[in-house]
Structure 1
């Protein structure tokens, strides 16, 4: 793990994908460079900015001004905020708006928003005219450290999260940490779950650093940019080695099998944000691993204790309004994208920073574990 950045230092992390490589630009005020960077990447391109109502109210005018100052023509497409916009209906709206705006293959789409907007705009970009290039401008912590990097795009099905989509890499990511200043505390906390994930799955030293510095990350000190940079480097490395999740990249789904089922069980609603579901899923993954004798109870308790200390949910009773029963959750788990020929695959752990892919997990064992956790409500 590298030493923390000095305050104000910009960082550029490259995602090394040969002729499709791109930069993640991390720093306070990085949005100001968007116009110049786009002009260098695509001289003469028009831009369509896809955003949601909440983000557009805060950041659309500044984004348009940066583009205008660089001589770039732009149009805007604004959709309702929330997970509900990752739907067929909103996907159709965005695609039709891009076509109506006459966005051509040499133009660009800019995804200005959190993970929902990045996934939605990215999938529309992958589909319209059989592929438009796009730029990610993530405005949430979760998007800056996770969903904006790696090219996973998509929408939800009523049968599960992210079941419709495509791998479509951006050509640039601008992670302006100043945009996080307007983020509601709950959303920032939910994003922190993905930061903690990088330590828990593969970097025990980073997790120890987070245990000591998480309060400064939340407060907006220099630790915030450092944690974002470390997270982006970790994901960039994994994506470069395994772009389409045929092996190592699956480790990034630590907590997601349980988490996605719980998120779907909560109706993809504000009752359980995606990052909160990931935190709860990681807690369950560590406890399930301990139950299987893969790691010590002390390590599992340490992981859960840190997540709980930051205010993240770590028990099913933390979900307002409750969650479905064990059988219903198992039905949702069997829709997980890692299921192969009907066999469950989980990301489990042998210790802090020691995640591994565990194929062919016994469904009866998972169901019994979930039933036990639900009974503790």
Structure 2
């Protein structure tokens, strides 16, 4: 086996009205293909090898994981892959955002070359969003594309980041600035893998589900509100159901707009300010879900300020975020750095910032006419510099 570990280096238009997506159904062959890639089932990770063989994968498996996840789950997954004759090898990275870099990706490229990886082989990502993004980027670019199987071990990755084919690494000036679109062959969301997550990761992990419910599914939002306590203790039945419903909402949007040229932009709700806060705070200080939670609170304030949404909608979002134990302000962050990071946002078009706002639950809108005064007013309310 080619076993390696790596040490990471330091590192103005009118609103676009979008249809209510809560009743979206599969409407295209591509949607059917995407639907067939996403599987939510307790215990499936320990049967990964035979499952992937049944799904037509051949060759060898090159597993990428991190130093925290691999000792907990790597043995069972590697054994299952070996049982199915995938001859698995593993590369373990440090569990820090600094691992999501071109330097670490280059080390993995060299490892794959040394092991003689071929196009019929498969890359398996076992970890959270960091590992999923890094492994996906490697799979997208090595030999112009290897199959990638995502086995997300964090809540946020199971409901969001492992789905949809976005892969990327960071640059010092911004997050996810170098990447590629590379749809996963298979996503295995096994809720059993979440049992070892710390409370902080659970709270932050549900944020993307809150986002999916807010922008697309009023019924799911009611379920999340009613079952918040069960979700926070990771009740297996409730968690499995909600992961599946949340993940399939994203699947439906990705199938309609795989390259983010239209409707998929709504999935960035809360992310314009959220990503900027992550960069300004220093990657790793805020969990992604924590930053997005503050971003959701920010755009709920912004929508109310510009008259796009009623006050009770902002209050409902605030109450929901607080119920999941999430902060609504970022402390010790330089507002100037947040502004600078926002200019690198991938939704900027013709130098205009596009804002995803919520008119009502299930009805997102996209606006590029938000004034600097409104943005400054909002940032003043969600950033505490000292």
TM-score (norm 1): 0.91
Report the alpha carbon displacement of residue 334 of structure 1 after superposing the two structures with TM.
Answer: 0.9
Whether the 8 Å CA contact 2:124–2:148 is kept in 1: the answer is yes
The change in CA–CA distance for 1:107 and 1:21 in structure 2 (over 3 A counts) is farther
Structure 2 counterparts to residues 327-342 of structure 1, below 5 A:
327-342=336-351
Shift in Å, 1:205: 2.0
Spell out, residue by residue over 1:201-257, the C-alpha distance to the aligned partner (whole angstroms, 9 max, x if none).
111221121111011112222111111011111001000000000011010011000
TM-superposition CA deviations, 1:153-208 (whole Å, max 9, x none): 00111121111100100100111110000111111211111111111111122112
1:98-247 equivalence runs, <5 A: 98-221=112-235, 222-247=237-262
Shift of the alpha carbon at 1:82?
A: 2.0
TM superposition shift of 1:89:
1.4
Pair 1:253 & 2:276 matched: no
**Residue of structure 1 equivalent to 2:61:** 47
SS in 1 for 2:64: strand
The answer to whether the 8 A contact 1:15-1:21 is kept is no
Deviation of the 1:287 alpha carbon: 0.9
Q: Which structure would you say has the larger RCO, counting Cα contacts within 8 Å and 6 or more residues apart?
A: 2
Q: Which residue number in structure 2 is paired with residue 313 of structure 1?
A: 327
Deviations 1:114-153 (A, max 9, x none): 0000000000111111111110000000000001000000
- Residue 344 of structure 1 aligns to a residue whose secondary structure is coil
Residue aligning to 2:110: 96
User: Is 1:36 aligned to residue 54 of structure 2?
Assistant: no
C-alpha deviations, 1:65-121, integer Å up to 9, x for none?
111122221100110002121112111122222222221100100000000000000
Indicate the residue corresponding to 1:283 in structure 2: 297
Aligned counterparts of 1:256 and 1:19: Cα–Cα separation in 2: 27
Q: What secondary structure sits across from 1:350 in the alignment?
A: strand
For 1:131 and 1:189, the matched residues in 2 are separated by: 35
Per-residue CA distance 1:267-318 (angstroms, 9 max, x = gap) = 112x2111100111001111110111111111101101111111111123xx
**How many aligned positions are there?**
360
**Which whole-Å CA distance do the structure 2 matches of 1:363 and 1:331 have between them?**
14
Structure 2 residue runs of 5 or longer lacking an equivalent are 1-20, 23-27
Ranges in structure 1 where 5+ consecutive residues have no aligned partner: 3-13
C-alpha contact 1:126 1:132 (8 A) present in aligned 2: yes
| C-alpha contact 1:15 1:23 (8 A) present in aligned 2 | no
* Structure 2 CA distance for aligned equivalents of residues 123 and 177 of structure 1: 25
Relative to structure 1, the CA distance from residue 106 to residue 323 in structure 2 (aligned partners, 3 Å threshold; closer, same or farther) is same
**Do the aligned partners of residues 372 and 218 (structure 1) sit closer, same or farther apart at CA in structure 2, a change above 3 Å counting?**
closer
TM-score by length of 2: 0.89
- For residue 350 of structure 1, the aligned residue among 355, 359, 367 is 359
Question: Is 1:324 the counterpart of 2:334 in the alignment?
Answer: yes
SS in 2 for 1:144: helix
Change (3 A) 1:291 1:91: same
The CA distance in 1 between the partners of 2:214 and 2:262, in whole Å, is 18
- Residue in structure 2 matched with residue 62 of structure 1 by the alignment: 76
Work out the CA distance in 1 between the residues paired with 2:134 and 2:307. 40
Q: Is the 8 A contact 1:50 1:111 kept in 2?
A: yes
1:347 deviates by 0.7
In the superposition, relative to structure 1, how do residues 359 and 193 fare at CA in structure 2: closer, same or farther (>3 Å)? same
Cα distance 1:15–1:236, how it changes in 2: closer, same or farther (>3 A)? Answer: farther
Partner of 2:374: 365
Give the secondary-structure state (helix, strand or coil) at the position aligned to 2:299.
helix
Do the aligned residues in 2 keep the contact of 1:16 with 1:22 (CA within 8 Å)? Answer: no
- Offset at residue 359 of structure 1 (A): 2.3
Cα displacement (A) at 1:41: 3.4
**Cα distance in 2, alignment partners of residues 15 and 349 from structure 1:** 30
Bigger mean CA offset, 33-42 vs 15-24? 15-24
